Structures are given as structure tokens and as C-alpha cells.
Amino acid sequence: MCAADSAPLKLGLVCYPSVGGSGILASALGAELAARGHEVHFVGYERPFRLPLDRPRLFFHPVSINDYGLFKYPDYTLPLSVKLAEVSRAHGLDLLHVHYAVPHATAAILARSMLPRAIRPRVVTTLHGTDTTLLGRDPGYGPAISHALACSDAITTVSADLARETRRVLHCDRPIDVIHNFFDPRPPTRSRAEVRAELGVTDELIILHSSNLRPVKRPDLLLQTAALLPSDVPWKLVILAGESFAPFCAAVEALRLGDRVIVREKVRHIEDYLQAADLALFTSQTESFCLGILEAMFFACPSVASRVGGIPEVIVDEVSGMLVPFGEPAAYAAALTDLLRDPARRAALGRAAEQRARECFSADVIVPRYEALYRRVRAAAPMDFDSLSPAIP
């Protein structure tokens, strides 16, 4: 390897700053890259939720959005592209790595084309899930996503399943690098006993669910499943909600789950709650990976989850968790009930889950794969965009 190959990189990262898996993953990646000596510049309308403050080589550049009277809908893509071009130029960025295609990949390729050829950064697009599975199918977005992928220097997906879906839905025939998600747990800030006391839990088993509660997460099935769990085993369902839980309070009451469900919104120290959990439940309809499952695995907490999308790449069924056909509350409840009643089995699955998380999905395994991709892309000749086949022929 020559010196240039191992030199630190200058990277621009873009993600949604809200509590969503793609933003959480991008924030963790940025922090890890900065800790490994690279210079990392986040660009976006808000500082990402889990991005650590005051770390060397980690910067945030806000994009200001003007709500001009003429616009019915404020535009973010153009100011983002201008800011990306400015930051690239000012800091000599090698590469822009955008997480979630819409609108970040389009903004990045526009930023690149605004700059003189000699200083154009490469563009890496990471697809996270609904940018392919939902927006990719939308005729108002699909061709723009296909075009942005065709113009990206490299494309990654967070699971092999999402790579297959991307080829199928977006007719993408470019190479796709599958790089699974990772998690790097911070030490909890409180003890397990302290967290359980805060939750008002005494001898009950904690079933955890963490998500942004969007419709694909199927919070309806989550609550219906809880309503079928046995009453002779002490348990509580702890929901860590990335968004407001208010829309679901009526369902909790209707299902008579008021004394079983405990909600915490937008928690900053998720590790505190992960260490207190005994089981986790994910009833998603689609899921390219499901970072929530992985976070629980790092704390030896096995999940019962839908057998959909990339989840079978995370959980080995009946070894490091339980996979259940999607959509049947009775099936999720049966799997959970078995585990609630069987501490030895729960512990065995938990141990296997933690081992798998550390061996396959730790920062030390995954981050070097992104670094290798960046170096490969930087070393390659710039793409010839004039030879691209048009997204709208």
C-alpha cells in the first residue's frame, strides 16, 4: 500500500438528523471515522440526534432553508447541494457519503457537477430501506433515484436483501456493495436496577420495542401481540419511541394494556434501557436490516421479529432470536410466551445474539469495510457521466 492509500480521508456525510436508523448509523459511522483519524464534515438542516459533540475532526455545517413566499413547499435539495459544494471546496473533500437516497444523493451529484473537475468529490450513496422499497416504487421519485444511483461512484446497501430489491425495483445494474449496519454501544450511564426502578418495574420481565413507530413498523401488530400475552407471567412492554407515542394511546387503552405498557420518547442513552431488557419484539412489515434488533443483541437481549427483508441476515432463527411469519399477532405472542416461560432458553438465545453481534456487526468489523470502499472509489478514474443510459429513456 502506498502512503496516499493510508492517508486520512476528508469526507462529507449527509443523513436525516431525526431519530431514524439511517441517521443513527451515519452518525455512528462519522464518529468512528473521525476517531480513526479521518476528517468528517456532516452537512444538513440540523445536527444529527446521536452525533457526539466536541470530538476532534468531527464537524457540522448547517444548511439554512429560506421559505420564500412563492414556494408552496420549502425546498431543501438545492440549498443542500450548494452547501455540499461549498464545504467540498473549502475543505478539499475527497468524497461525499450520503445516507438515504432522497434527496441526499441527488443533492450530492448536483454539488459535484457545480465544482471544477479537478476538485470534484466522489459520491457514495448508501440505501437504507424505504428509499428503495417505498420511494423507489413511486413514479414521482423512482427515475430520480435511479439517476442518482447511476451517477454515484459507488452504491452500498445495508443488507443483501435490500441489494436484491434495489436491482429489482430500480432496475439498477451497477455493482452494489453490501455493508451491514453496525452498533458500538456506549457504557450505560445508570445500573440495570436504577433503570428498572425508574420504569417502575420490580420482578416483571421487560419486553422492549424501539422504533420511530412509522406505519412499516406496524405498531398496531405490536400492541395486538402484547394483548395476547399471558397474564400469569409478570411482564411489561417498554416502548422506546423515536417519535411521539400520543397517536397510539387510544389503542393501548382499547386493548386494556394501560398497566403493561411503559413509554419513553426520544431517549438519548438507549444503552441504559437495552441493558434492562429481557426480550425484544419487532413486528415490522418491511425492514432492510432493523438496527433496533442489533442494539438489543449487543446487550444479550434476543428478539422475536418478523421474517421479512434483511432481518434473517441479522437473526439466525432459533439460534440468536426467533423469526415469525409477518402479520400474525398470535404467532409473535406464542414465540414470546415460550421465551417468557423459559429462562434457560432466553439466556442461551441472548448469549448467541451477543456473540453474533460482536463477531459480525461491530464497528471494528464494519467501519474498515467503508474505509476500504472509500479508498477504492478515490483511486478509481472519475466516471464518464455522458455514457450513462438515461433514467427516462
Single residue of 130, 156, 303, 320 touching ligand GMT by CB under 6 A: 130
Number of residues lying near ligand GMT (CB under 6 A) = 20
Stretch that binds ligand GMT, among 47-55, 122-130, 196-204, 320-328 (CB under 6 A): 122-130
CB of 258 to ligand GMT, least distance (A): 28
CB of 366 to ligand GMT, least distance (A): 12
Q: Which of 31, 291, 297, 322 binds ligand GMT (CB under 6 A)?
A: 291
Among 30, 129, 142, 350, binds ligand GMT (CB under 6 A): 129
Answer for the pair 210, 279: CB distance below 8 angstroms, yes or no: no
Q: How far is CA 209 from CA 216, 278, 392, in A?
A: 14, 11, 41
For the segment 205-234, give every residue that binds ligand GMT (CB under 6 A). 212, 216
Residue 156, phi then psi, degrees to nearest 5: -125, 155
Maximum C-alpha span of the chain = 69
Closer to ligand GMT by Cβ: residue 88 or 181: 181
- CB-side exposure of 361: number of CA atoms within 13 Å? 27
For residue 138, give the C-alpha cell: 413511486
Site string for ligand GMT, 170-209 (x = CB under 6 A): -----------x----------------------------
Tell the smallest beta-carbon distance from residue 16 to ligand GMT (Å). 6
Sign of CA dihedral 274, 278, 284, 287: positive
Give the range of 13-21, 35-43, 269-277, 368-376 binding ligand GMT by CB under 6 A. Answer: 13-21
Pick from 165, 272, 287, 354 the residue near ligand GMT by CB under 6 A: 287
Q: Segment near ligand GMT (CB under 6 A), from 22-30, 167-175, 200-208, 382-390?
A: 22-30
Q: Does residue 306 belong to the site contacting ligand GMT (CB under 6 A)?
A: no
Q: How far is the CB of 287 from ligand GMT (least distance, A)?
A: 4
- Burial (Cβ within 10 Å: 0-12, 13-18, ≥19) of residue 210: buried
Q: Does 21 bind ligand GMT (CB under 6 A)?
A: yes
Q: Does 12 bind ligand GMT (CB under 6 A)?
A: no
3-state class of 140 per DSSP?
coil
305 counts as binding ligand GMT under rule CB under 6 A? no
Q: Looking at residue 125, what DSSP letter applies?
A: E
Q: Of 88-107, which residues contact ligand GMT (CB under 6 A)?
A: 100
- Our CB check for ligand GMT shows the closer of 11 and 24 to be 24
> How far from chain centre, in Å, is Cα 64?
25
For the chain, the 3-state helix, strand and coil shares in percent, each to the nearest 5, are 45, 15, 40
22 binds ligand GMT per the rule CB under 6 A: yes
Please identify the residue of the shown chain whose CB is closest to the bound ligand GMT: 129
In the complex, the smallest distance separating the C-beta of residue 35 from ligand GMT, rounded to whole angstroms, is: 21
| Cα Rg, the chain, nearest whole Å | 22
Q: Kindly tell me the sign of the dihedral angle through the C-alpha atoms of 118, 119, 124, 130.
A: negative
Task: Return the number of the residue (69 or 215) whose C-beta is nearest ligand GMT.
Answer: 215
Phi-psi region of 345 (alpha: psi -120 to 50; beta: other; left: phi over 0): alpha
CA-based torsion, 241, 243, 249, 255: positive or negative: negative
From 233, 245, 317, 333, select the one nearest 283 (Cα to Cα): 333
Interacting span for ligand GMT (CB under 6 A) from 18-26, 141-149, 345-353, 385-393 = 18-26
Site for ligand GMT, residues 311 to 350, rule: CB under 6 A: none
- Of 19-27, 33-41, 78-86, 112-120: span binding ligand GMT (CB under 6 A): 19-27
Q: Is 350 exposed, middle or buried (0-12, 13-18, 19+ CB in 10 A)?
A: buried
Cα–Cα distance, 319 to 194 (Å, whole number): 30
- Member of 12, 17, 20, 44 binding ligand GMT (CB under 6 A): 20
Ranges assigned E (strand) in 100-204: 122-127, 154-157, 176-178
* Sequence letter at residue 17: P
In the complex, which residues of this chain contact ligand GMT (CB under 6 A)?
Answer: 16, 20-23, 25, 100, 128-130, 158, 181, 212, 216, 286-291
